[in-house]
Amino acid sequence: MMNNLVFEKRINVTQPKMPPLSQYLGYLEQIWENKWLTNNGPLHEKFKEGLKEYLEVENLELFTNGHLALEIAIKSLDLKGEIITTPFTFASTTHAITNCGLTPVFCDIDPDTFNIDPKKIEDKITEKTSAILAVHVFGIPCNVERISEIAQKYNLKVIYDAAHAFGVYKDGVSIGNFGDISMFSLHATKVFNSIEGGILTYKDAKLSDKIRSLRNFGIVGSGDIKYVGLNAKMNEFQAAMGLCNLESIDQDIAKREELFKTYVNSLQDKFDIKFIQLNGTWQHNYSYFPILLKNKYFRDKLHELLKKYNVVTRKYFYPLCNKFDCYNYDSGETPIALDISQRVLCLPLYTELTVENVKQISDIIVYELGGLYEQL
């Protein structure tokens, strides 16, 4: 234990980006003036336009959170039967499929990107398959070209859970432009937050009325109820936070990049630690800093040892979704995902962290892993 490196204040895996209070108060004054709190208010509309521009997409709607947005994406496409998906994700992805009355079929992942492995998708397709729900996990883009080819061949819809991928580009194209629909989460713990919040971006403009209706109890213009909808509307307080944070998003991502690269420089070639490999074909948002340890023993030990330094890491995503108590699927069918889930650890990464903090966390990791390797 290096007692001189213990943090006085706890460092969590993430911390929400907060704008200057005065900036948010300016929007609160507008809300007090407008007396319009939710249901497509003026800040909601302004935020929506700002996001369409920032994400470079034609069609976009806002939601109270990412999870309900994902359920609405599934409902809007009238999907039935089975959806092929990844088990290496947050519970939300699998729950959305199940809550919509469909069956998730788990496909293994690529060990380099942690995303669904397109080479294994075709084996999972049956006559009941209606869609692929892939996740750009940790903001790493899926193999969107190959997924699109498979979807066209078998006439499947493609939904991307882009909860982690706000601000990511693939070959110069903003990530929300792939597949039929993409969902972004604007939760407090994300690169870009509106307290809670979600976005759907989608290819077919004809879906707009249905998506808006599903978000508002299934009510259509005439006042009739056409769909079994939800209440998933974003309110004005959320939109205000989003508008504030949109002003600083490019600086926030640049700050994350600096911290991400500091981790890479401090940890590369140390004790076989592996991390996301950046390459020239995509632009990252530096949303998470997952590392892979040698095995589960080292991962769990390091997680516990770091707590003694007041550093709280997270085992995103462990256990796998196909190992949850509430489901009864065979996680043995996805051995690579199982292995990654047992070795992964996400280190703290957020805009208010300093380069010094990251160097300190890295020094602790190198020191403690050194101790663990010596005991081997």
Please state the closest distance from residue 294 (CB atom) to ligand T4K, in A.
Answer: 24
Residue number, 287 or 366, with CB nearest to ligand T4K: 287
Q: How many CB atoms lie within 10 A of CB 225?
A: 12
How many chain residues are in contact with ligand T4K, going by CB under 6 A?
Answer: 23
Q: How many CB atoms lie within 10 A of CB 145?
A: 11
> DSSP label at 227?
S
CB contact burial 147-167 (16+ within 10 A = b; e otherwise): beebbeeeebbbbbbbbbbbb
Please report whether residue 90 would count as binding ligand T4K according to CB under 6 A.
Answer: yes
How far is 192 from 188, CA to CA, in rounded Å?
Answer: 8
Pattern 4-33, ligand T4K, x by CB under 6 A? --------xxxxx-----------------
Segments in 39-85 forming alpha helices (H): 42-55, 66-76
Strands 282-283 and 169-170, bridge-based pairing:
antiparallel
Q: Which residues contact 375 (CB under 8 A, 6 or more apart)?
A: none
The residue range among 89-97, 259-267, 294-302, 336-344 that interacts with ligand T4K, by the rule CB under 6 A, is 89-97
Residue number, 97 or 371, with CB nearest to ligand T4K: 97
Residue number, 7 or 36, with CB nearest to ligand T4K: 7
State which of residues 163, 239, 253, 276 lies at the interface with ligand T4K (CB under 6 A). Answer: 163
Residue number, 89 or 235, with CB nearest to ligand T4K: 89
How far is 33 from 92, CA to CA, in rounded Å?
Answer: 36
State which of residues 151, 188, 219, 355 lies at the interface with ligand T4K (CB under 6 A). Answer: 188
Binding to ligand T4K in span 304-363, by CB under 6 A: 312, 316
Binding to ligand T4K in span 115-144, by CB under 6 A: 135
User: Which is nearest to 87 in space by CA: 342, 337, 343?
Assistant: 337
Residue number, 188 or 220, with CB nearest to ligand T4K: 188
Contact set with ligand T4K (CB under 6 A): 12-16, 65-67, 89-90, 92-93, 135, 161, 163-164, 185, 187-189, 198, 312, 316
